[in-house]
Structure 1
Amino acid sequence: MKNLNRFLESTLLRPTMTDREVDLLIKDAIEEQFIGVCVPPFWVKKAKRDLKMEDIQVVTVIGFPFGFEDTATKIAETKEAILNGADELDLVWSQTAFHSGMNWPKIEIAQLAKICHSEERILKVIIETAYLTPDQIREACLICQDAGADFVKTSTGYAPTGAKADDIRLMRETLSSSLGIKASGGIKTLDFALELIRAGADRIGTSSAKSIMESNRSLR
């Protein structure tokens, strides 16, 4: 697929990750010209510094991986990440509030979207599709859309399952064309990445971005 690299966010979010692994992530991103690299908040400042001259987005996570933090904590995380150079922020929404039937997820997303947009940053919301029925996926997408999110994202990678093509199709059918969809969780192969893109994904978050690109080149 032509321009596959511009769909890929190369991701490294393991608790045991080292600075050498971050260096390799950034090196691969520069070589492949991925659309972005997704790193923990601890590594945002380094990633921004190392990618300063590149057209590569620095992406980080907020409320990761379960979204349990209160809104004030997520606001503080967001402001700090932006200060350190994050271009895009992937927010784990309040799953516990959603499953309790509260309106709080929409309120929280709206507050964080306002902060991100005032700084010209992108907000993606992780709804963790593994824990949602199709009707709940639709509801979650509309909450994110109404609250001002820029993307809806499938997964953290910490749930029992990750991205699924059927979920992506459902999300695409539900969301306005102005909202992006980021597929993440368990995306290891070129075939699966392409299937998700065909289903409607605008971004692919994966720790296998380099090998996916190598597989793509082998087909030419």
Structure 2
Amino acid sequence: MRENREILRHIDHTLLNAAASWEEIQRLCEEAVAYGTASVCIPPCYIERVREAYGDRLNICTVIGFPLGYSTRESKVFEAKDAVEKGAQEVDMVINITDLKNGDIQKVTAEIRAVKEAVGDAVLKVIIETCYLTEQEKTAMCRAVTSAGADYIKTSTGFGTKGADIEDIRLFKKYIGENVKIKAAGGIRTREALEAFLSEGCDRIGTSSAVKLLTNTTGCE
């Protein structure tokens, strides 16, 4: 069994609710600082305020093209640049699932590459929303994420019909490049699940539940 601190170092402590208040965001950040999570994953509108309040005490992650992914490449590039300029060190983007379903993997790859160029040295995680994809499409996205130079492939937004699945992590490991890491997110709400995803090779887990599970705090809903 892993120590709590070891697990928390892999957690993107997340609050992406549409009605998330500043008080809730502050609590999220305070927990991240206290327990040493990998990052806080927050709505873009809070990036500047969090950076001003917490400085370098925590790692700020945000989302773009979220949660449906069908905004244009140009708008995602703008969102990504804006997020990094405001203080985000990590960006989780949602692919254009419609392009993938239409068989245009080259367009999806080009979009990922453009967003990676926009964020520069910041970390780019690519959400492929596995619940909507066939195994063939998941495999194609492993190769696209690798080819486009992204840092992570990520399972889910948490807003789809299903979250992370261990079998998808095993598939990712078979087809991603050696420089691509894995993030699982969506529906991971038990210590056993946290342990299982880390044991399968995930470097990050996106969840709002880990701090509450492992530290007996009230957590963030």
TM over 0.5: yes
Q: Does 1:162 align with 2:163?
A: yes
Matching residue of 1:99: 101
Q: Displaced runs of 4+ in structure 1, greater than 6 A?
A: none
Deviations 1:4-43 (A, max 9, x none): 1111010000011111100100111111010100001001
Distance of 1:73 and 1:167 partners within structure 2: 29
**1:28-107 alignment to 2 at 5 Å?**
28-54=31-57, 56-102=58-104, 103-107=106-110
8 Å Cα contact 1:11-1:38 kept in structure 2 = yes
TM-score normalised to the size of structure 2? 0.93
Note the C-alpha offset of 1:209. 2.2
Is 1:24 aligned to residue 27 of structure 2?
Answer: yes
Q: Give % identity.
A: 34
The answer to whether the Cα contact below 8 Å between 1:151 and 1:181 also exists between their aligned partners in 2 is yes
| Structure-2 separation of matches of 1:198 and 1:131 | 25
Within 5 A, what are the aligned runs for 1:139-178? 139-178=140-179
Corresponding letter in the other structure for 1:39: I
- Look up the equivalent residue of 1:188 and give its one-letter code: R
* Equivalent position of 1:218 in the other structure: none
Counterpart code for 1:136: E
CA RMSD in angstroms, aligned pairs only: 1.1
**TM-score (structure 1 length as normaliser):** 0.93
Aligned residues: 212
> Any idea what SS the aligned residue of 1:52 has?
helix
Give the aligned partner of residue 125 of structure 1: 126
1:36-90 CA-to-partner distances (Å, cap 9, x unmatched) read 0000100111222233132x32000010001111111111111110111000000
Q: Structure 1: any 5+ residue segments left out of the alignment? A: 216-220
Separation (CA, whole Å) in 1 of partners of 2:66 and 2:195: 27
Equivalent position amino acid for 2:189 in 1 = K
Instruction: Report what 2:118 is aligned to.
Output: 115
SS of the aligned residue for 1:51 comes to helix
Aligned AA (1:211): K
**Residues in 2 aligned to 1:149 and 1:177: alpha-carbon distance in whole angstroms:** 12
The letter of the residue matching 1:176 is: G
Aligned to 2:219: none
Post-superposition CA distance 1:165-212 (Å, at most 9, x none) = 111111112112321101000111111011111111110000112123
